[in-house]
Each structure stands twice: as C-alpha cells, then as structure tokens.
C-alpha cells in the first residue's frame, strides 16, 4: 500500500472518529442555556468563522492535490468489470447498474432533504413568531459554543474542499 | 421582536442531521479507499464535469448558507 493511500486512510479514519465523537457529544453532552441569543454573529467571531471556512476549503483542495499526486493508479473502477467471459461481463454490468442505482438514490435523498430543509428555513424566516429558523439554531449554537462551531465549519469545509474542488490528474 | 422560546430538540436535530450526513459521507469515502475504488472526490469531480451548472448551483446554495449563518448583518 502506498504512503499516499495510507495517509488518505489515516485522514478519513481520524475524521470519522472525530465525527462520531461529536455525534456522541451532541446526543449526551450538548447543553444550551436559556435564553439563547439568536443575534447575528458579528465582529471577530464572524470574521474567524468565515476565514476558517474558506481556509478549510482551500486546505482540503491542497490536501487532495498532494494525496492524488502521489497516489498509485486504482486497481478497480466500477465502470470497467474485469475478465472477458460472458458471465463476468453480465455480473459486472449488473453490479455497475446496482452501483448507479444506489448513487442515484443517495443523490435524490440528499437533494430531497436539502429542499425540505430550505423550504422549512424559508417558511420559518417568513414568520419568525411561529418557529425558529435553522439559522437561529446555528447562531444560538455558535453563541454558546463558538469553538465547536469553528471546528465543525473547518471539518465540513475541508471535506468539501477535498470532494468538490478535486484536483485533475 | 418577539420570537417563541428555544426548542432544545431543534438544536439537537440541527447538530445531528449535519454531523450524521458528513459522517456517512466520510464512512463511504473510507470504504471506497479501503477497497481501492475511485474515491468520493473523484466521483463527484466526474459528475461535476458532466453537469457543471448543477454543481455550480449546489456550490452557490452552500456558499449562501455559510454566509447566511455566519456573516449576516443585523436588521435595522
């Protein structure tokens, strides 16, 4: 196994452990004191959070570029089944179709969830006397746990930088 | 401005939905890497080259959300 692949597995494994730890913290330890402020984030905190988000995005791209530049060619690609026999071709095509269906279902689920969340945000913002918009929850969380919000924004933007701003080989 | 009191469940759900989505994507990427398949970034990149406007739209929405959450100005 190449060192770049080991590094990528290490980065992803440690990210997963951190994420699982944060999920456990959110379930068992997250405390928000009442009343919680939903005022806009401003001043140094706002500057720091936006800078951390942009920095994480660029850092993720640079990390992906370094890992990809030193990575060995992939053994397997879902699009090209190995072997030349009819059975192999048939199994490969079926597996490829299944993989495409799974990816398509995941994409539809993700987009449906995004639409639902954005619709709730729009409805709640139209009348904030009825429900808290998601923005207020994020601001409240940030006022109560600014460091945790910064770590979360950094982690998410770094991963997005790796995935969305992927280097060309 | 009068708003209803905070619902603690909303904070929990906001944090959990975000974290579970990202953790799921990281787990999938780790699985692809361990089985030596094309990683998630490579797949998204291939998809983005095929549908650039779609990807630009998603990036625009995500950027607007980050600005909306962390960079908004107070209402006069």
Domain extent listing, chain A: 3-31+41-72+95-163
**CB pairs A-B closer than 8 Å:** 144
Cβ within 8 Å, pair B35-A76: yes
Residue tagged 């993700």 (tokens): A110
Confidence at residue A87, expressed as pLDDT on a 0 to 100 scale: 58
Q: Is residue B8 a part of any domain in this protein? A: no
User: Is A152 buried (19+), middle (13-18) or exposed (0-12) by CB count in 10 A?
Assistant: buried
Please tell me the distance from the alpha carbon of residue A42 to that of residue A97, in angstroms, as a whole number: 49
Query: Minimal CA–CA distance to A1: which of A69, A68, A64, A72?
Result: A72
**The model scores a pTM over 0.90:** no
CB-nearest to A75 from B36, B59, B70 is: B36
Any domain includes B15: no
Q: Which pair of structure tokens corresponds to residue A11?
A: 């980065």
- The distance of B35 to chain A (nearest Cα, Å) reads 8
Q: Is there a domain that residue B61 lies in?
A: yes
Q: How many domains does chain B have?
A: 1
Residue A79: burial class (beta carbons within 10 Å; 0-12, 13-18, 19+): exposed
Which ranges of chain A does DSSP label H, i.e. alpha helix? 3-28, 43-69, 86-126, 134-144, 146-164
Match 């495409």 to its residue by tokens.
A100
Structural domain boundaries enclosing B66: 21-71
Residues 6-65 of B with CB under 8 A from A: 6-8, 10-12, 14-23, 25-27, 29-30, 33-45, 48, 55, 59, 61-62
- In the structure encoding, which two tokens stand for residue A43, read together? 């001043």
Residue A58 confidence (pLDDT): 93
B57 located within any domain: yes
User: What is the mean pLDDT of the segment spanning B32-53?
Assistant: 82
Check whether A55 has a pLDDT greater than 90.
yes
The whole-number pLDDT of residue A43 equals 83
B70: left (phi over 0), alpha (psi -120 to 50) or beta: alpha
Q: Which DSSP symbol is given to A79?
A: T
Say if the ipTM goes beyond 0.95.
Answer: no
């Amino acid at each position: 196994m190449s060192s770049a692949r080991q590094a990528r597995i290490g980065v992803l494994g440690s990210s997963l452990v951190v994420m699982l730890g944060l999920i456990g913290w959110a379930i068992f330890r997250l405390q928000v004191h009442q009343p919680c402020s939903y005022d806009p984030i401003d001043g140094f905190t706002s500057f720091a959070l936006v800078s951390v988000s942009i920095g994480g995005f660029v850092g993720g791209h640079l990390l992906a570029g370094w890992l990809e530049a030193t990575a060995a060619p992939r053994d397997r690609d879902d699009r090209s089944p190995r072997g030349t026999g009819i059975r192999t071709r048939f199994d490969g095509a079926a597996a490829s179709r299944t993989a495409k269906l799974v990816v398509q279902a995941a994409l539809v689920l993700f987009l449906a969830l995004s639409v639902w969340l954005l619709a709730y945000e729009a409805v709640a913002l139209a009348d904030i006397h009825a429900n808290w918009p998601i923005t207020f929850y994020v601001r409240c969380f940030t006022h109560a746990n600014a460091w945790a919000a910064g770590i979360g924004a950094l982690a998410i933007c770094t991963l997005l930088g790796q995935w969305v701003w992927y280097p060309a080989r | 401005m009068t708003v209803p009191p905070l619902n603690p469940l909303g904070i929990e759900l906001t944090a959990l939905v975000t974290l579970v989505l990202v953790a799921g994507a990281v787990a999938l990427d780790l699985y692809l890497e361990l089985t030596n398949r094309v990683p998630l970034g490579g797949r998204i990149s291939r998809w983005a080259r095929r549908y650039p406007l779609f990807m630009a739209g998603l990036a625009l929405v995500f950027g607007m959300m980050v600005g909306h959450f962390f960079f908004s100005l107070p209402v006069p």
